[in-house]
Every structure is written in structure tokens, then in C-alpha cells.
Amino acid sequence: METAEKIIQWRRELHRHPEEGWTEFWTTGFVARQLADMGLAPRVGQEVIDPAARMGLPAPEVEARARQRALAEGLEPYWLERMGRTTGLVADVGPADAPLALVLRCDMDALPLMEAQEASHRPVREGFVSRHEGLCHACAHDGHMALGLGLAAQLTAPDAAPLRQRVRLLFQPAEEGVRGAASMVSHVAGARHFLAVHIGLGAPRSGDLVTGVGAFLATSKFDVRFTGRAAHAGAAPEQGRDALKGAASALLGLHALPRHGHGTSRICVGRLEGGSSRNTVPASAFMACETRGNNSEVNDDMLRRARDVIAGAAVMHGLEWRLDVVGGAPSAASDAAFAALLARCARELPPDARGGGCFPLPRIREQGDMGASDDATTLMRAVQAQGGLAAYAFLGADLAAGHHQPGFDFDEAVLWPGVRWLEKVCRELAG
């Protein structure tokens, strides 16, 4: 079977088995098995993850259920034993003692979202809809992993010329919530180039390619817990300390913060919950929040001011409080020189034997804006800090619905040109 067909099969199998961040046990094992069958030596889970740098971890019972589900769905115990209690993997192509020419990041996690079940939804119609209720790949991470596997297949094919330098495939857990990249920073040490590719987003048409994405927003994700004292709401309300009221005050205060004069800033309380019954003063409350800024200075200042608001609300209502940062990423920009090289490789890509597999020249752009966050920026900044070049690219695709929507799906025909382009980039940098 040709790579062009395999990548669609891989994407669909990954789509059937969505897993949230830090629970991608089946996914890690599946990708590792494909790479091992190509003759590579993937390192997985605890072999590649810095446990101290992980953020936003699932509850132990959630992790345990995910491990058992993965085994029930065919995960080889060999891979699970090697993973330990975490996920993700790294695999190198090329001589082990050669310089590290390129790291390609492929994110792995799915979203806590129920996938559309209508017959008009292609994954339903063609039999690859999510098997996991309440989870689905609605941000194309299944496609990103298929790109990585397709690239590995091309580089390790029997008739492929060997690389003179190394290319590293970095399959990252927990991109959603920007929780995973910090735990894999050591794997870009010494890299001369770093690339992350996202399907769709700022390139929502098949045939588009944007090779130098910038305007990433720095972000901090944080959970806030207020603790008060329960009391009977009718007989003795004065004995209570209302945690939910304190959280509500904090929410209003956070959204009343003025925007930053030194750049774009954002703040959002995406979730607020608390209390136990209608006639009991709520003893606890929880908020899930985020700040963003067009640079880390602005974002850090928003987080500092958010802490002040939360502390003030707690004092006003006589509460204890705790803030836990559960995710974060800096701002970043693609290096223009690397974006130009990526665009040149796309322009020089000839049609395949069937007359396709390439990009229309007018549809290749070297600049684009993200306007959101992705913790690939953590890895980009690490490579740039050591003198290397980094870029983030959009691989255009027609979409059935927007990202993070139940009906999301993308045109799988874009995967093959994407793989051919990535192979050409690797030959340029490491061949």
C-alpha cells in the first residue's frame, strides 16, 4: 500500500480512538507500533517526558480508566509498561551521532466534545466516528499525527536515500490547554530547526499553505478554588461564608479589569461552579480561567492583576483561596528565513506520478497570523534561544465545520501533499 493511502487509514484509526491530554495511551502505543514497524526506535512516555514540567494532570481515576480502556482496545502491554503513567513519544530518523537538523512537532490529544452523530457527518457515514462518548478529534490532531507517520514512512522507505543528519519526530501530549510542551523541551536541545504544522485554522481552503505563522498570544491557564463555611441558608446564614458569592465577585472583577496599554490582552472565566444544595450557604466554589497577551509581559501582568482581584474577593467574603496554574505558553513568531525556505520547498515540489500531490503556486504564503495560543511556542522559543530557526505552518484544508465544533472534519486529500512537502524540507535540511 502506498503512503498516500496509508496516511488516510492512519488518520481514521486515530480518529476512532480520541484521548484527552495526558491519557493518550492507546494513541502513543499505536504511533509507536507504526514507527517500530518502519525500523525506528521510538522512546515513549516516561522515557521522554519530564514529570516535573507536566501541567494540568488528570485525576488518578481518569488516568486509570484511560489505561484500562486502551488495553481493552488493543494497546500492547509492552508499550504501556514502557510508558509508565504518561504519554507521548520521540523517534529519530538518520544517523544516531549526526547533528539534529529538524524537529517536527505533532500534537496528539483530542477534545472533551461529543462528535456529531448525523449520517451527513463523514466519519459517521464512512465508519470512523469516535468510539469514545464525549471525546473527539475536532482540531485535526489526528491529521497531524498522520503527517508525522507519513513523513516517517517516506524517509524510511526501502528506496529512500538515507539522511546524513537527523530528523526528530516529536509526538506531544496535552496541547489543548497548553499543558504538554514544557515537559519535552529537552528534546529540542541542539536542534537547528523546529517546525509545527496545523491543518486548517488560518488556511481554511485545500491547496493553501502558510509557512510562517506569527501573532501567537502568550497565555496562562489557571484554576481557582474558594473555601468558605457551610450554614443553613434560612436559620443561620450569618454563620456561613459564601464561597460561590466570593467566586461570583471575583468573576465580575476579573472581567472588569482594564485592557493593557502595551498590547493586546484577554481574560476569560470559562467555568464557574459551587455549592451543594439550594438551602445551604456554599462552602466551596471553583473557577477555570485564562489570561492572554500578545507578548509574555502583557500576559504576566494580566495574571498578576487577576491574582489581586481573586485575593480581594476572598478577603471581602471571608474565604480561603488557592490558584493553580495548569497550563501556559509564551508568544512567538516564525523566523522569516526559515519560512522562506519552507515556501521555496513547496514551490519547487513537482507533481507526483498521478499529477497531484503539490500546491498551487499562488496559494503559498510566507506570513500569517495565529491570533490564539499553542504551546508549540514553548519549543519554538527554546530552539530560537539556542540560535536555531523555528516556524509554525498552516496546511490549508476544506473544513466541514470549524475547529472545536462537533461536526469538524477536514479534507483528507491535503495529507499527501503535506507529507511530500515535509519530506522535501527534510531532504533540504538533513539530506
Q: Are 282 and 228 in contact (CB under 8 A)?
A: yes
pLDDT bracket for residue 257 (50, 70, 90): very high
291 membership: H or E segment, kind and range: strand 284-293
Query: The whole model's pTM is what?
Result: 0.95
Q: What is the pLDDT of residues 173-219, one digit of tens each?
A: 999 999 999 999 999 999 999 999 999 999 999 999 999 999 999 99
Burial bucket for residue 387 (CB in 10 Å: 0-12, 13-18, 19+) = exposed
Q: According to the annotation, is 137 in a ligand binding site?
A: no
* Predicted confidence (pLDDT) per residue in 13-54, tens digit: 999 999 999 999 999 999 999 999 999 999 999 999 999 999
pLDDT for position 399: 98
Other Cβ atoms closer than 10 A to 384:
18
Q: Which CATH superfamily is domain 3-216+332-430 in?
A: Zn peptidases (3.40.630.10)
pLDDT of residue 241: 98
Which are the contacts of 215, defined by CB distance < 8 A and separation ≥ 6? 294, 333, 369, 370, 371
Q: What is the tens place of the pLDDT at every residue in 332-348?
A: 999 999 999 999 999 99
Any binding-site annotation on 268? no
* pLDDT digits 0-9 by tens, 144-159: 999 999 999 999 999 9
404 is in an annotated binding site: yes
Other beta carbons within 10 Å of 16? 18
Q: Looking at domain 218-329, which of 3.20.20.70, 3.30.70.270, 3.30.70.360, 3.40.640.10 is its CATH number?
A: 3.30.70.360
The whole-number pLDDT of residue 353 equals 87
- pLDDT of residue 169 exceeding 90: yes
Instruction: Reply yes or no on whether the pLDDT at 1 is more than 70.
Output: no
Is 198 annotated as contributing to ligand binding? Answer: yes
The band of 355, judged by pLDDT with boundaries at 50, 70 and 90, is confident
Retrieve residue 289's grid coordinates: 480561567
What are the residue ranges spanned by the domains of the chain? Answer: 3-216+332-430, 218-329
pLDDT recorded at residue 34: 99
Q: Is 115 annotated as a binding residue?
A: no
Cα separation of 160 and 317, whole Å?
68
